[in-house]
Structures are given as structure tokens and as C-alpha cells.
């Protein structure tokens, strides 16, 4: 059995940023072989939070799931260093499983960190959770889901007022999710638009009108008009519906509700894109 010296422990810690006790244990179990010790640490996930944690995670995948009881839906972003890993079957299965578990049980994603740790050990790549969202029905309702073909953009839309069992309702759910993916709203409705965003856009519109030589007395009115037009483009339920631009999203939903004999309302949505 090789003697594990302080210098050997320091060298391993410098190479991996692992803890002192982890370094000593790994060297002891590998008879002082540094390369074997690093491999052991990777297998055990002890490198999480060390050297790997400083590496960029610009790639990744979105997981989308509806709970088994149909009352919840979830989006989870898991970031990786490379697109190659993001397309790895084991990574894909892990992301999907985490999304399903999050939809079913809720809670904090940090409680699922051990799954990422194990995958880091297998791939040698840094990984971390990005954004997440979980929607919950408040009564009769259903979800629309969308996952882009590159798996880097996911959407949830929550509609209430009907159980969503008919083909018409299912088509609506799909269409709304695809609409949100394409149109990238910043809020469900005006109440959800940040005040600082409104103030900034109003100021920009006011200064633009002033630069055009408009009279001081009409600047605020012009700015309000431009902001109002902007909000129709940015608020989900006010946006022109992509499949029928003459109607807003809310008007289209109302029409579908009349078709199926229900008063439908879009209650919430979530849109997550890797890296945003």
C-alpha cells in the first residue's frame, strides 16, 4: 500500500477541486494512482461543484411533462456543455424522468440534484438546472404542451373551463402552445407586464415622437398609443392568433369555447428556451 502524502492530496485537489477527505479516500482506494483516483471521483460524482462547475453550460435540453393525474404540468431546463451530450440517450432519459417527477410531485429541483451528479460522473461534463415552471389546474381544465424539434424550446399553456377531452379542445391546446412558441409573449396579459418595462417603452416612444418634432403637449398621448400597440404584440391573450391573425388569442379561445359549449379561459403559460 503506497503512502498517501500531503503532496499527493494537494496535487489531486489542485487537479479536481475536490474536498480533502474525498482526495485522501480516492488516493487510498487507488493505491496512490492519481489518474485512477480522478476516475474514481468522477464515477462517484465527487467532482460536482469543483473544476467542472466553472465550465460553460451553453447547451442542454427541455423536459416537458403532464402529471399522471392530469392536474399539473412541468417544464425543466437542464444545461450541459455540449449538444452531443444533450442528445445522448441517457441524458434525454434523465431530463424526461426529472420533468415527469417534477410534474407529479412538485417540490424543489435541488432535491433531484443527485441525478445530475450521477450523469456528470458518467459524462465528465458540467451540468446544471436552468429555468423551470410548474402549472396547476384550479378546476376543470387541460394543458397544451409543445417541445421544439431541437428540444431546446418548450411551452405549457393552461386552459380552464372544460376537461379537454374532445378533439376540438385537444387541437386548441396544441395550437395555443405552438402559438406561444412562435410568438414569444412576455406576459399572459397586461397585469403581468413589469412596470419597469412599461416605463422604459413609454420613455422610448416619447423621445422618438419628440425627435420627430411632435408638440410637447401630445407626446404622452403618442407614447401611450405606441405602448398600447406594443402590448397587443407582447401579451399572450392579445396577440393576433398565428393561425387566424384577424382574431386575438382570447377571441379564438372564446370561439372554440362556444363550439364545444364551454366558457374557456387561458389561465397561465410558461415558455422556456435553453440559455435564455
Lowest mean pLDDT among 43-57, 158-172, 200-214, 258-272: 43-57
Q: How far is CA 37 from CA 30, 44, 121, 202, in A?
A: 6, 11, 13, 60
Residue 90 lies in a domain: yes
State residue 45's pLDDT score.
Answer: 62
Judge if pTM exceeds 0.85.
no
Residues 24 and 61 grouped into a single domain: no
User: 276: closest CA among 45, 62, 9?
Assistant: 62
Task: Strands of the chain (E only): list them.
Answer: 59-66, 72-80, 127-136, 141-147, 153-160, 240-241, 244-248, 265-273
% of the chain beyond a pLDDT of 90: 63
Residue 146 lies in a domain: no
Mean per-residue pLDDT for 247-270? 97
Strands 59-66 and 153-160: unpaired
Q: How confident is the model at residue 74 (pLDDT cuts 50, 70, 90)?
A: very high
State residue 271's pLDDT score.
Answer: 98
Residue 97 lies in a domain: yes
Report the domain count for the chain.
3
Q: Is the pLDDT of residue 212 over 60?
A: yes
Residues 114 and 60 grouped into a single domain: yes
Instruction: Name the one residue in this structure whose C-alpha cell is 401611450.
Output: 224
Q: Is 258 exposed, middle or buried (0-12, 13-18, 19+ CB in 10 A)?
A: exposed
The answer to whether residues 188 and 268 touch, using CB atoms and an 8 Å cutoff, is yes
% of the chain beyond a pLDDT of 70: 93
Residue 89: CATH number of its domain: 3.30.479.20
DSSP string across 9-74 = HHHHHHHH---HHHHHHHHHHTTT-HHHHHHHHHHHTTTTTSGGGGS---EEEEEEEE-TTSSEEE
State residue 161's pLDDT score.
Answer: 94
Q: For all residues of the chain together, what is the average pLDDT?
A: 90
Q: Is the pLDDT of residue 51 over 70?
A: no
- Which secondary structure element, helix H or strand E, spans residue 215, and what is its range? none
pLDDT greater at residue 162 or residue 35: 162
Map residue 266 onto helix, strand or coil.
strand
**pLDDT per residue over 131-153, tens digit each?**
999 999 999 999 999 999 999 99
Mean per-residue pLDDT for 33-44? 77
Q: How confident is the model at residue 116 (pLDDT cuts 50, 70, 90)?
A: confident
DSSP 181: H
Residue 178 lies in a domain: no
What residue numbers bound the domain in which 71 lies? 56-136
Residues 64 and 131 grouped into a single domain: yes
State residue 257's pLDDT score.
Answer: 96
Residue 92 lies in a domain: yes
Amino acid at each position: 500500500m503506497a503512502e498517501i502524502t500531503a503532496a499527493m492530496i494537494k496535487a489531486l485537489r489542485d487537479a479536481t477541486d475536490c474536498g480533502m477527505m474525498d482526495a485522501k479516500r480516492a488516493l487510498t482506494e487507488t493505491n496512490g494512482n492519481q489518474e485512477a483516483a480522478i476516475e474514481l471521483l468522477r464515477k462517484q460524482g465527487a467532482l460536482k461543484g469543483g473544476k467542472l462547475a466553472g465550465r460553460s453550460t451553453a447547451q442542454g435540453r427541455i423536459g416537458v411533462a403532464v402529471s399522471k393525474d392530469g392536474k399539473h404540468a412541468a417544464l425543466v431546463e437542464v444545461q450541459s456543455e455540449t449538444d452531443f451530450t444533450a442528445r445522448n440517450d441517457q441524458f434525454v432519459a434523465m431530463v424526461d424522468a426529472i420533468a415527469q417527477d417534477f410534474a407529479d410531485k412538485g417540490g424543489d429541483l435541488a432535491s433531484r440534484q443527485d441525478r445530475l451528479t450521477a450523469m456528470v460522473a458518467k459524462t465528465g461534463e458540467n451540468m446544471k438546472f436552468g429555468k423551470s415552471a410548474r402549472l396547476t389546474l384550479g378546476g376543470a381544465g387541460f394543458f397544451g404542451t409543445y417541445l421544439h424539434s431541437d428540444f431546446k424550446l418548450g411551452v405549457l399553456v393552461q386552459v380552464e373551463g372544460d376537461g379537454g377531452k374532445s378533439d376540438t379542445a385537444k387541437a386548441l391546446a396544441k395550437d395555443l402552445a405552438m402559438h406561444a412558441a412562435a410568438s414569444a409573449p412576455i406576459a399572459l396579459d397586461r397585469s403581468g407586464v413589469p412596470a419597469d418595462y412599461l416605463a422604459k417603452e413609454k420613455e422610448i416612444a416619447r423621445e422618438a415622437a419628440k425627435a420627430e418634432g411632435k408638440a410637447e403637449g401630445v407626446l404622452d398621448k403618442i407614447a401611450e398609443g405606441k405602448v398600447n400597440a406594443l402590448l397587443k404584440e407582447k401579451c399572450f391573450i392579445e396577440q393576433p392568433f398565428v393561425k387566424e391573425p384577424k382574431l386575438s388569442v382570447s377571441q379564438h379561445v372564446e370561439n372554440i369555447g362556444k363550439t364545444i359549449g364551454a366558457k374557456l379561459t387561458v389561465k397561465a403559460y410558461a415558455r422556456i428556451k435553453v440559455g435564455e
